[in-house]
Structure 1
Amino acid sequence: MRRRGISTLMAALLLLILAISAGAIIYAYTMGFLGGFRATPSKQGVLALDSAKCTTEEIKAYIRNIGGGTVIIDRAYVNGRAVEGAGYVFQVEDSELEAGESTEVTIKIPGGFQPGRSYEVKIVGKRGAEILFTVQPKGKAGWLGDWAKRVKLTVDHNDIDEDLTDFPLLIHISSSSGIGGDDVTFIFDEVGSNRFKIAVTTSDGITQCYVEVEYWDAVNEEAWLWVRVPSISSSEDTVLYLYYDNSKADNTAYVGDPGSSAAQKVWDGNYLFVSHMADDPDDSHIRDSTSNGNDGSKKGSGEPAQVSAIIGYGQEYVDDADDYIELYPFDYDLTEFTVSFWMKTSDTSKYGTPISCHDGATVDNELLIYNYRGFYLYLKGDPASTFGVSANDGSWHQIVVTWRSSDGEFKFYKDGSPAYTGNLQAGATINPANLIMGQEQDSFRGGFNPLEAFIGLMDEVRVSNVVRSGAWIKASYEAGIDNLIDFGGEETY
């Protein structure tokens, strides 16, 4: 029997039918007909870039949802690296975008963005929507964004005896500032009273430091700023930059008045209390610059009174009966401490008491720094003999006392230099319940004796729960007398 094959025409038709069937199956799967759900593109979120701007400091991108569904912006990548962790910032103004809505995205990375280099940015939503774009920063290398002006600050390493970390550096802006007595009032010419239109960076010119504005007087062109400097070298000069630009938005993420979040970050976690001793918020109180909230209450309105002091404002004690400022409660268990303050008195008749702590029960001299005619230190009622150190010559002096429980060693510093070393209460824990500036307590929160009152001026009072090093104390003194920084000239963008 003779077999006949399929005709050429029939074979072609069969192949066409098979191809159409396969295409229909692929289309149905792709479009969601199979499996009982159809996800059309018109019901999904799709991200598009409206615009993007990159400076040496940050990327700002404006992203829009041009699809039909909701997009929740979840994460970002720069050159393949997730924008997360220390030094990275990923901020989204509104992370949930409905169809047609847009949002602002801000991205920062450690060290900033270098001019001349390209950065590939990917922004991703939770449901898979993403956008990829490339930016290149505008601006100068080593310059903070497009800030208009800056001045270079050089910290003299000859006054730094060991490397310091997270040090609160004082910057004085006036017609006679720093080691060279430089006139830097051109800063006020640019920003006037707009104290938040400034920035301080490390030596790279980009990485910002936190700044507390203690005092800003645009009329008399003088200001005092405290800056948390990540590291200050003892072997080479440390460089910072102070930027100022009146066209900038307030830089409140890094610069603030006492009590603000930015200002509190100037002071490391070992500070229990820091006060610049100005009236704040009224003439019956002083403010704690740390985040601990140990604000002080005066005996009454103007008792003591705010006056000009060595750094901005301080307090003047004139009434030996009852001028004082109290921190209450001030409840800590201390196995180490550093207490420091600036003072000025010419009194020769009283056993002036700068600092007095009671334990709240039976021990009135839990921690007592006593008699500026010849200082004593008391711990848990136990006095150390007089140090033979006085501070009642009518000049400003920085006084610092450190103590540690492990061996009972205490050190007394005057004007940045060690003046006495002794031993007291080894193995003890100091348990203050309050702290009074200006009076000695013979009973808890009272029992004042006029013969033991502090008469004079007090400024910059601090308490830490660690022993600050001699190098730290010396640098603090040099900064306090404005002898640590050399100012450069004005630089423009």
Structure 2
Amino acid sequence: MKTHATFFAVLLGVLTAFAQENYGTWPYYKNLTINTSASGANVTGNVFKVPILVRLSAADSVNKLRAENIRFTKVDGVTRLNHQIERLDSALQVAEVWVLLDTVYGNNSTQTIRMYWGKSGVSDSSNARAVFDTANGFQAVWHLGESTDSTVKDATVNNFSGTPATTGTGGNPFDTVGVIGRAKSFHVTTVASNAGTAGAYYTIPGTASSKLNFPEQSIYTLSAWVRPVDITNSGKIVSKGDRQYYLAKRNSGASYEFAENQTGSGQNWWRVNATANTWKYVVGVRTGGAGVAGGKEYVDAVVATTSGTSNNQATDRSFDVNIGRDPSQAGGAASYYLGAVIDEVTISNVARSPDWIKLSFETQKPGATAVVKGATIANAPNITSHPQNRIVNVGTSVKFGVSVSGTGPFTYKWVRRNVDTVGGNSDTLTIPSVVLADSGSYKVVVSNANGQSISNPAQLTVLPAGQEIYSSWAHYRDISVNTTPGAANVAGGVGKFPLLVRLTSVQNDMFAQAGPNGTTIRFTKSDGVTRLSHQRERWDSVNKVAEFWVLTDSVQGNFDNRLRVYWGKSGAADSSNGAQVFNSANGFISVSHLGDAQGAHPRPNAVAGAPYASLRNYSNTYTAPEGIIALADTLRQQSDGTVNGNCTQPCGDDYIDLGRDSLNNNYNYFNLSTGSGFAVSQWVYDAGPVNVERLFSMANDSLTQAAAPTAGTGSRVLIMGNKANTGTGNPTNLSIRYTVAGTSITNFDGTSNTFTPNAWHHIVASKTSGSSAVNVYLDGSLYGSTVAGPGIGNVAHNYVWLGRTADANPNFKGKFDEVTVATQARSADWVKLSYETQKQGGSALVIGPTDGTIVGIGPAFTSHAAELSMTRTSKGYSFHIPGGMSRVALTVMDMSGRVLWNRTLNSDEHTVLWSGISGHAAGVYMVRLRGITVEGKSIMRSRTLAP
């Protein structure tokens, strides 16, 4: 009985589990019926958790049977049954396999299990320790199928291996034919009147004080198959000493004997007649208690009728278990070496029932008929390679294909959009020149005599001629915009939202591959098809920094939103276009990114036709500083107010004019009204507040740049500022006010000291059309509200300034960045999302690995479970990997790309555990799965996780 090696994949000390297999993809199966009725095993009671022997031969038509591709299930074809292969000889087409059944029903001729085989690309799942489980009472199981002179293995987790030995010249126990596969022959070289005096045996080291050291009157079972050479000599089958317990063949009355010694009462024994050269199943059962009433012996499942007590002597529990001799009298004339062939020795710490013993005997005996094997059945076709999605332009030739295994011949029917039958009876479908109407899903129905299988649908997307196909771009990365509470914490959805995407040295490969100024970069929805307009604000390949604005159709609240960035397409033209990102469809009338590496010339407006931002009273040697988003612009408090001679009124400082630019000389552009909605936003860095500072002001009246505002019906001024709470240098409050004819009519002064100096702050004033309230937001949260004043707009002059007003010196020292004006209100969700995605160091936006899909964890990410699923456990993360892949590598990285753990998987391995996350700080990590699919296409998938 050759023991087949069982494979256990162990990762970081944790035993991995096999993934659920689809046995419908196995080419062959047959039903096995366990007949316990009178015509079969004749077992009346139910037997639980019992290993059943399945013998296979050439007559069973099991061609293509291999150790790695045999599986057993319940009759449902789904529920896996553990098995151990004792022997499997593919050349001879013979096998002995132990299958663990949870229940075998008594007096039943219809209980059926199923055996599958013949599938390629799978691995051996023989599992001795699961079949002979110590929790089920098995403490030692020796199949005795190893080669001569080899250690015999224990099938249980206890690993009580046996060492071969001999005291004569005949050698160790030798391999021979057994009742179950192979067995061992134990010989005697000399014969005395009572026993073999020299012979072969196995000693089981370390068992003297082990789980096999049963106390007196305890519960246990010994069993073995035995074929004695003769019946005239005594010998021990399995023994822990004459003064503890044993199974033996005795010369006295030519019998099999089971005995246990009990101090003070003697040796209790049970006997059944023995027959030479005949296989017998000998079982001794201790049910507990004193004397012969506490045990029984069975031979071929028939209980012994002879029993007695003799040799009152003290129990000796100091010896190791031996097979083939009595260890307690080793070396003496009465060592009881056995002249016999022994097979399948087991020791259990439970009392096996008569039904268990009867079922074991009837299913293991030579010529057993209790296990009835049905005809070999071929499964329906197994689709090993499915049609793949295609994205093409009009006029392209498209070919879909499928690969199939199983029993042919096969027929093929291609179906488009679940309605139309297209193509012919072929494993390929070719559409020579596609048109837009060919778009849709395609699948194929493959049939044979045993049934049919349907492929996964492949989506064909046909684009107009000339439209870019991003699957042909060299590289891509997934981008996650996470609005869940652990990231941006935005509850509601936002539409037509310009999203800031920053690139850093983490995306170093993009700077090398995206072309000059990142011209080949494209953004799409998560489908990789639908183009999203973008504007490039900065591209610095030397310092590895870049900022892009991407117009998203919508960003859902409390969700992991996805989009993609592609790059590296040779010959792709620059498609950066600010006017497409910031336009009237989403309410923008002015967007000034500010900052320019070329000095103090006017700053372009991202909105088409909007005035440039003019830097007033700036030096020709001015250099723009780094801002919150790319570069910004500084107001520097010039003391004379006459730099370049541009300030003819007593302004005293430099400022930024958004309402008129030197290119268009236009002061008639801004027309906001308090009757309608509007929103103003800006990033502000206050470098040192003094009393009142003007951050943003808008006025319309008859004044000119050189004139102070005067009383009159035309005077309207909106001022957003910051006001020191107790004096210069203290934390400040935001304020907003309206004036009419120079007189303040509406004031709002914040009372919370949250607008701190020397830090970037995001400020938004927003008013909904039809409402009288203006909401003021600071750093993504509502700061306060005020009532809107009279109309601002509908007149000839509209002055919009940063850092000053017409009626007061601005007194501002600091930086401005990303100033926007819109003719519609911005919701609290819009403001919050803007702040969370634009601030430095935020976690709302994550860019995944190159050519990899970054997938998150939680309820929002269930749609990605088919790609790579994972479960957080007390021991770490358990990863389940898609099937149908080979040469698979799993890697865990931090967001800088530093590898923390990697593992190359075996072809049958689909679930592994990483326990090392406990050694890392809380944060976002990437898990990358890289492999080659059966179609040969390289893929990579990954997910984010947090400790």
> What range is the shorter-chain TM-score in?
0.5 to 0.7
Deviates more, 1:361-370 or 1:480-489: 361-370
Match of 1:347 among 652, 663, 688: 688
Two-structure CA RMSD over aligned residues (Å): 3.3
For 1:324, the aligned partner's letter is Y
8 Å Cα contact 1:344/1:391 also seen in 2? no
8 Å Cα contact 2:719/2:738 also seen in 1? yes
* CA distance, structure 1, for counterparts of residue 550 and residue 686 of structure 2: 29
Q: How does 1:58-457 map to 2 (within 5 A)?
A: 58-59=393-394, 144-158=470-484, 159=488, 160-175=490-505, 183-252=506-575, 255-256=576-577, 258=578, 261-262=579-580, 264=582, 268-279=585-596, 283-302=600-619, 306-319=624-637, 321-326=652-657, 327-328=659-660, 329=667, 330-334=669-673, 335-361=676-702, 362=712, 366-373=717-724, 374-381=733-740, 382-389=745-752, 391-404=755-768, 406-425=770-789, 428-431=790-793, 433-442=798-807, 448-449=808-809, 452-457=810-815
* CA distance, structure 2, for counterparts of residue 114 and residue 248 of structure 1: 30
Shift of 1:375: 2.4
For 1:478, the aligned partner's letter is E
Q: 1:424 to 1:113 in 2, by over 3 A?
A: same
Match of 1:56 among 372, 391, 394: 391
C-alpha distance after superposition, 1:116-149 (max 9, x if no partner): 69xxxxxxxxxxxxxxxxxx8799xxx7231111
Gaps of 5+ in 1: 1-53, 62-78, 80-105, 118-135, 176-182, 443-447
* CA distance, structure 1, for counterparts of residue 442 and residue 629 of structure 2: 43
Shift of 1:422: 2.8
8 Å Cα contact 1:172/1:222 also seen in 2? yes
8 Å Cα contact 1:364/1:441 also seen in 2? no
Equivalent residue number for residue 85 of structure 1:
none
8 Å Cα contact 1:354/1:370 also seen in 2? yes
8 Å Cα contact 1:192/1:218 also seen in 2? no
For 2:762, the aligned partner's letter is Q
Equivalent residue number for residue 480 of structure 1:
838
* CA distance, structure 1, for counterparts of residue 545 and residue 750 of structure 2: 38
C-alpha distance after superposition, 1:283-338 (max 9, x if no partner): 22112111232212121454875211111011011125231111221430422211
* CA distance, structure 2, for counterparts of residue 208 and residue 441 of structure 1: 44
For 1:458, the aligned partner's letter is F
Matched residue SS, 2:835: helix
Q: 1:277 to 1:250 in 2, by over 3 A?
A: same
For 1:383, the aligned partner's letter is T
Matched residue SS, 1:184: helix
Matched residue SS, 1:298: strand
* CA distance, structure 1, for counterparts of residue 435 and residue 635 of structure 2: 51
For 2:522, the aligned partner's letter is A
Q: 1:372 to 1:221 in 2, by over 3 A?
A: farther
Shift of 1:198: 1.0
Shift of 1:240: 0.4
* CA distance, structure 2, for counterparts of residue 166 and residue 107 of structure 1: 31
Matched residue SS, 2:687: coil
Deviates more, 1:347-356 or 1:295-304: 295-304
* CA distance, structure 2, for counterparts of residue 409 and residue 203 of structure 1: 38
8 Å Cα contact 1:353/1:440 also seen in 2? yes
Deviates more, 1:243-252 or 1:285-294: 243-252
Q: 1:457 to 1:189 in 2, by over 3 A?
A: same
8 Å Cα contact 1:405/1:429 also seen in 2? no
Shift of 1:342: 0.5
Match of 1:491 among 851, 875, 878: 851
Deviates more, 1:328-337 or 1:414-423: 328-337
* CA distance, structure 1, for counterparts of residue 436 and residue 695 of structure 2: 46
Shift of 1:60: 6.3
Q: 1:357 to 1:245 in 2, by over 3 A?
A: same
8 Å Cα contact 1:213/1:263 also seen in 2? no
Deviates more, 1:355-364 or 1:165-174: 355-364
* CA distance, structure 2, for counterparts of residue 333 and residue 157 of structure 1: 32
Shift of 1:192: 4.7
C-alpha distance after superposition, 1:375-413 (max 9, x if no partner): 221224323131124524211110111124634211111
8 Å Cα contact 1:283/1:305 also seen in 2? yes
Shift of 1:186: 1.9
Matched residue SS, 1:358: strand
C-alpha distance after superposition, 1:78-137 (max 9, x if no partner): x9xxxxxxxxxxxxxxxxxxxxxxxxxx9989xx967969xxxxxxxxxxxxxxxxxx87
Equivalent residue number for residue 66 of structure 1:
none
8 Å Cα contact 1:380/1:430 also seen in 2? no
8 Å Cα contact 1:356/1:365 also seen in 2? no
Q: How does 1:3-22 map to 2 (within 5 A)?
A: none
For 2:803, the aligned partner's letter is G
* CA distance, structure 2, for counterparts of residue 403 and residue 453 of structure 1: 27
Shift of 1:232: 1.1
* CA distance, structure 2, for counterparts of residue 197 and residue 243 of structure 1: 8
8 Å Cα contact 2:678/2:824 also seen in 1? yes
* CA distance, structure 2, for counterparts of residue 230 and residue 287 of structure 1: 25
8 Å Cα contact 1:357/1:441 also seen in 2? no
Q: 1:113 to 1:228 in 2, by over 3 A?
A: farther
* CA distance, structure 1, for counterparts of residue 553 and residue 845 of structure 2: 16
Q: 1:349 to 1:250 in 2, by over 3 A?
A: same
8 Å Cα contact 1:315/1:459 also seen in 2? yes
* CA distance, structure 2, for counterparts of residue 355 and residue 293 of structure 1: 17
For 1:211, the aligned partner's letter is H
TM-score (norm 1): 0.65
* CA distance, structure 2, for counterparts of residue 454 and residue 415 of structure 1: 20
Gaps of 5+ in 2: 1-388, 397-415, 417-433, 444-459, 464-468, 639-651, 661-666, 703-711, 725-732, 853-937, 939-947
* CA distance, structure 2, for counterparts of residue 223 and residue 108 of structure 1: 37
C-alpha distance after superposition, 1:426-481 (max 9, x if no partner): xx322271101111211xxxxx52xx322101101011111100000000000111
For 2:850, the aligned partner's letter is E
Q: 1:273 to 1:388 in 2, by over 3 A?
A: same
* CA distance, structure 1, for counterparts of residue 435 and residue 690 of structure 2: 62
Shift of 1:215: 0.7
Deviates more, 1:464-473 or 1:384-393: 384-393
8 Å Cα contact 1:57/1:206 also seen in 2? no
User: What is the aligned residue count?
Assistant: 355
For 1:275, the aligned partner's letter is S
C-alpha distance after superposition, 1:250-286 (max 9, x if no partner): 142xx34x5xx54555x74411111111238862211
* CA distance, structure 2, for counterparts of residue 149 and residue 115 of structure 1: 26
Q: 1:233 to 1:263 in 2, by over 3 A?
A: closer
